[in-house]
Amino acid sequence: MANIVKKYFPLILLMVITLPQLSNAQKKSKILIKNSNDLKIDRDLHPDVNKFIGDVFLTHQNLKMYCDSAYQYDKKNEVEAFGHVHIINADTVHIFGDYLRYDGDTRRAELRQNVTLKNQSVKLTTDKLDYDMTLNIGYYDEGGTIVDSTNVLNSIIGRYYTNEDLFFFKDSVVLINTDYTLYSDTLKYQTVNKVVNILGPTRIVSEKETLYSESGWYNTQTGISHLLKNTTVNRDNYQIKGDSIYLNKHTKQAKIFRNVELRDTINKLILRGHYLEMHKDTEEAFLTDSTLFIHVGEQDSLFLHSDTIRIEKDTNDFNRILAYNKVKFFRKDLQGRCDSMSYSLKDSTMRMFNDPIVWAQGNQITADSISIESQNNAIKYLHFRTNAFLCSKEDSTLYNQIKGRNMLGHVNKNHLDKLDIIGNGETLYFPRDEHGIIVGMNVAKSSTISIDIKGQKIDQILFTKKPDGNMYPVFDIVNQKRFLKDFEWREQLRPKTKDEIFIWESAIEKLQEKLKKRLQKTISEENNESAPKPKVKDTKKREM
């Protein structure tokens, strides 16, 4: 090892001495004056200054500089250029201005007054620009304007990375496009692919909507954007929020992820979830994942949950909201459950399908379909169509019951105060005396019945035709049928709070269903065991 070091020591020493000199020589290459019409030198007044006048042409490494006149500071390796300054950097970047100060050692240029930088299709104008010729980065901090084939951008502070075709803007950023205007605190802009990177509070204002975000990107050429922080879209009568929003200007499609909220300010509707797709032209939308529909009322709001919520246009071009799979809703005076539901903004009517149940003022009401009609943001009518059945708990074992083909409930000030039974009406209820004691069980039938309700109790029953019925005394109630056909008390399904709309089956219901299946399995097995066994034919040949 010692012999190797000794052998190559002169070469190593030469490299150590020479390399810094070569590097220093390259760094401090002189600014060369290639042409001027006149030269003035006054060594007494300015011993280190050469004054070149008229059609001055200078070079420094890969730079070319033109101006009307220039001062050359030979010892400092600097020049000052005046009038019609023009710098060409690597034949791609052209910079113009009225004044230039250039340091040959640092390769930094300071341009002032009427400065213009051109690079391919990009044009930057400002009154103050510093440019690092080694890194190819331009700086301004007193305002600048960038123009390319698509956009016009203004800001107080800016940096232009010409190698990466990248602009960085700060403070009072304004981007003007034919379709919108963007206002931002901080952003980056790729001049080749026309992509804006949002790095601070930003508003994008177009003819139909205003968009706000604090992080993300927007391709001004394709119209595609992905916004990632505190994003809000305001459009006509609605507002959309979400953790992340994907927008496509050409397909008019929006996708919103996590903590989604859509507000309809005119119809006072709020939709929430964790995934929303929306077509902005048709205003059709698809919402899923922890959905929540809120109908804001003057006194109370209705909260609804389902697996999926969809907004679409009906045949008259009105919006309607569809909720399907495990629909439950809650309001203090009204609760409900069904498998699917529609809400029309045309007539403010909610329609429930597939095993619908409504609970109101202690009453449980079922039918093949149920409609809840509102006027002026207040419920006005409850329509129960086909196999309508109302029941309420009178005491721990007795239930008032009313059934018919159809029912119409009249709501006044959020209270059900009248019920009309239309077709095949039947009633079974337990009247009380003035002391509140049950006096018997009244069973009656009539094709049409009207019932007045006060509080949560039946106050009066009117039969439009003479009823067919009977009054049973208290002591005989236990011997009579206390339930109309199809009676089923399903109080365990009723959401007691707005949080319970997210629970489709309670633990008790799941256990009951499990026990029911187990019982059915046991019965099936017992039936199989008790069934006669089929005879098996003996195919074994007899021995000869």
Please determine, for residue 478, whether its predicted confidence score (pLDDT) is greater than 80: no
Q: pLDDT: is 508 or 27 the higher one?
A: 508
Domain assignment present for 451: yes
**Other beta carbons less than 10 A from residue 437's beta carbon:** 9
CA pair distance 363, 457, nearest whole angstrom: 9
User: Which neighbouring-strand residues pair with 93?
Assistant: 89, 119
With a threshold of 0.75, does the pTM exceed it? no
Domain assignment present for 500: yes
Q: Name the band, by pLDDT with cuts 50, 70 and 90, for residue 533.
A: low
Mean pLDDT of all residues belonging to the chain: 86
Domain assignment present for 432: yes
Domain assignment present for 146: no
CA pair distance 217, 446, nearest whole angstrom: 69
CA-based torsion, 387, 392, 394, 399: positive or negative: positive
Please determine, for residue 479, whether its predicted confidence score (pLDDT) is greater than 90: no
Domain assignment present for 410: yes
What's the pLDDT tens digit per position in 16-37?
A: 444 444 444 445 789 999 999 9
Q: Name the band, by pLDDT with cuts 50, 70 and 90, for residue 155.
A: very high
Provide the domain count of the chain: 1
Which helix (H) or strand (E) segment holds residue 538: the answer is: none
What domain range includes position 406? 337-509
What's the pLDDT tens digit per position in 276-310?
A: 998 877 878 999 999 999 988 777 889 999 999 99
Domain assignment present for 116: no
3-state SS track over 351-385: EEECCCEEEECCEEEECCEEEEEEECCEEEEEEEE
Domain assignment present for 427: yes
Q: Specify the pLDDT at position 542.
A: 43
CATH at residue 356: 2.60.450.10
The residue whose two tokens read 């250029």 is: 81
Domain assignment present for 38: no
